[in-house]
């Protein structure tokens, strides 16, 4: 999506004034039910087709993940995790956990916090975090800021890309292309409230089916997300490649939180301090008579050296 | 007119001003992408994208220029016992009482401190800058390292800029210093007043 004309922007990168937010929209969310995903990649294809992206034809690396990671042209990618899960009787059971990777659309986005370009990253009031490419300067700070390692900087145009949650479709009341294409209903889209409610039902069903700790993945550390997962093993999100407690790195927090305003104030303050010091104390000048004195000195010295000669 | 004393050679002065101009460019482009209140500096460099592209090159050239400057002046900036004494008494100098200060050579402790601050900050900026330089080098480093690097880069840049503010102010404050770096010479009285040991040294009558 382009520009700031949507009038419902809750946050905008590198901006110290209010954002255009005359309109308010309900929070939306995508719920990805890992337990009912069959790994068909219809979502990946739908994403590619709707956004009209054609990634390079890659090389098969020996398993189903293809391409093996997100790229500037593959905004969503299926990750296949083969996991040996311990059973109550200490035996193990192979589980094939398939997760659709992509932007989480954080309520507190690390990319937006780290971005130095005004309006290059926006968060709409419906929760979607979008990259506005015309404002992107290609610095890669969004990559540094993201707790989920999602944005990818293109080698061809030096712009960062990621899933937009089909903000263009959502703006006209359509669901994201991936949700539309999913044949098993593993991807659902609606208001965040509805998705949490539906997810809770799925978690209850999974419990009945014998899973010990199924859960909704909606991590608090980033203020919750607008892409959520139903995980069979909600106590160990790491086994499907999700961080257990994602937060904006304290390094990034310090850099773009406290350091930024403090440093600006200190630098401007130092200039002002110098200005007023000069007004109060005045310059260190060499007096006229000192010039004369040193001339006198020189004469003496020259006389001395004459005497020596 | 008293005999003038040469303080900086043509080469040193040109080198100094090249570094100064590059500092200005690297500093303004860096500030523009550090805090939104400085974003308007991008207008001087052809917009945000050009600012981002140019910044690392300005920085690299500045570091390169400083290396030459460093080797010209580092010996005169070695710390000596009297520098610690000068530092202890420096608050009195700030109140304008230069007579309270111990005699010093070519550089006083404040100048030496600023010089070493520049050297250390530029080294940190140089090393960390590569770690998140898009699109050439950043992808070779893990994201955690890039996070550490951007923070160190910002801290070093902040200290460097503070050092430059002090450096520039001191030059304006001590009359005759700017002329030393623009024209290369100072008056004997200036040298005797601010750098008596250096004055004696250049006059060869210690």
Residue B98 inside a domain? The answer is no
The fraction of chain B above a pLDDT of 90, given in percent, is: 94
The candidate with the shortest Cα–Cα distance to B201, out of B4, B2, B5, is: B5
Residue A303 has pLDDT above 70, yes or no: no
Residue A294 has pLDDT above 90, yes or no: no
CB within 8 Å: A137 and B37: no
Residue B117 inside a domain? The answer is yes
Active site residue B167: yes
Neighbouring residues of B43: CB distance < 8 A, sequence distance ≥ 6: none
* pLDDT one-digit tens code per residue, A4-54: 667 799 999 999 999 988 888 899 999 999 999 999 999 999 999 999 999
Provide φ and ψ at B192, rounded to 5°.
-65, -35
Residue B45 inside a domain? The answer is yes
* Residue A15 distance to chain B (closest CA, Å): 6
> Which of these ranges, A87-101, A210-224, A230-244, A262-276, has the smallest mean pLDDT?
A87-101
CB-based burial label for A63 (10 Å; 0-12, 13-18, 19+): exposed
Determine the 3-state secondary structure of A126 from DSSP.
Answer: coil
Q: What is the ipTM of this complex?
A: 0.92
Residue A292 has pLDDT above 90, yes or no: no
- For chain B, how many residues are written? 206
The fraction of chain A above a pLDDT of 90, given in percent, is: 81
Residue B87 inside a domain? The answer is yes
pLDDT at B206: 45
Cis peptide leading into B135, omega within 30 of 0? yes
* pLDDT one-digit tens code per residue, B159-206: 999 999 999 999 999 999 999 999 999 999 999 999 999 999 998 754
* Residue A163 distance to chain B (closest CA, Å): 20
| Number of domain units in chain B | 1
What are the tokens at A164? 């937009």
Residue to test with chain A: of B32, B193, B203, most A Cβ within 10 A = B193
Residue B35 inside a domain? The answer is yes
pTM listed for this prediction: 0.91
Domain encompassing residue B122 = 5-92+104-202
Residue B142 inside a domain? The answer is yes
Residue B99 inside a domain? The answer is no
Average pLDDT, whole number, for chain A? 92
What are the tokens at A181? 């294409």
Question: Quick check: A25 and A126 in contact, CB under 8 A?
Answer: yes
CATH of the domain at B29: 1.20.950.20
């Amino acid at each position: 999506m382009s520009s700031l004309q949507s009038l419902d922007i809750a946050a905008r990168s590198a901006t110290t004034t209010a954002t255009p937010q005359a309109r308010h929209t309900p929070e939306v969310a995508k719920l990805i039910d890992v337990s009912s995903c069959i790994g068909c990649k219809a979502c990946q294809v739908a994403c590619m087709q709707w956004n009209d992206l054609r990634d390079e034809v890659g090389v098969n690396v020996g398993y189903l993940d293809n391409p093996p990671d997100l790229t500037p042209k593959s905004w969503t990618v299926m990750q296949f995790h083969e996991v040996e899960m311990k059973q109550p009787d200490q035996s193990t059971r192979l589980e094939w956990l398939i997760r659709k990777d992509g932007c989480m659309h954080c309520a507190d986005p690390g990319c937006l916090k780290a971005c130095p370009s005004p309006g290059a990253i926006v968060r709409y009031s419906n929760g979607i975090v979008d990259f506005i490419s015309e404002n992107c300067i290609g610095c890669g700070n969004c990559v540094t800021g993201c707790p989920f390692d999602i944005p990818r900087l293109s080698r061809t145009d030096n712009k960062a890309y990621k899933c937009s949650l089909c903000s263009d479709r959502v703006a006209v009341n359509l669901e994201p292309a991936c949700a539309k294409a999913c044949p098993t209903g593993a991807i659902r889209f609606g208001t965040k409230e509805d998705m949490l409610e539906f997810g809770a039902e799925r978690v209850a069903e999974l419990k009945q089916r014998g899973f010990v700790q199924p859960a909704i993945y909606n991590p608090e550390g980033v203020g919750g997300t607008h892409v959520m997962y139903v995980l069979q093993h909600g106590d160990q999100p790491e086994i499907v490649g999700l961080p257990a407690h994602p937060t904006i790195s304290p390094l990034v927090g310090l850099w773009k939180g406290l350091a930024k305003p403090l440093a600006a104030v200190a630098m401007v303050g130092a200039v002002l301090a110098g200005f007023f010091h000069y007004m109060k104390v005045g310059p260190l000048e060499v007096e006229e008579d000192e010039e004369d004195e040193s001339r006198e000195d020189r004469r003496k010295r020259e006389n001395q050296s004459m005497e020596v000669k | 007119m008293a005999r003038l004393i040469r303080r900086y050679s043509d080469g040193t002065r040109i080198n100094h001003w090249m570094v100064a101009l590059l500092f200005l460019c690297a500093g303004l482009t860096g500030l523009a992408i550090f805090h939104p209140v400085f974003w308007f500096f991008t207008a001087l460099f052809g917009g945000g994208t050009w600012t981002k592209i140019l910044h690392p090159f300005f920085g690299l050239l500045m570091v390169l220029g400083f290396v030459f400057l460093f080797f010209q002046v580092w010996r005169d900036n070695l710390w000596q016992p009297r520098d610690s004494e000068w530092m202890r008494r420096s608050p009195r100098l700030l109140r304008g009482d230069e007579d309270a200060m111990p005699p010093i050579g070519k550089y006083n402790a404040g100048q030496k401190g600023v010089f070493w601050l520049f050297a250390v900050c530029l080294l940190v900026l140089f090393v960390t800058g590569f770690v998140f330089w898009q699109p050439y080098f950043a992808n070779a480093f893990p994201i955690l390292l890039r996070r550490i690097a951007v923070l160190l880069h910002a801290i070093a840049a902040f200290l460097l800029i503070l050092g430059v503010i002090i450096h520039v102010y001191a030059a304006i404050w001590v009359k005759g210093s700017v002329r030393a770096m623009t024209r290369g010479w100072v008056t004997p009285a200036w040298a005797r007043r601010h750098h008596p040991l250096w004055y004696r040294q250049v006059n060869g009558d210690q």
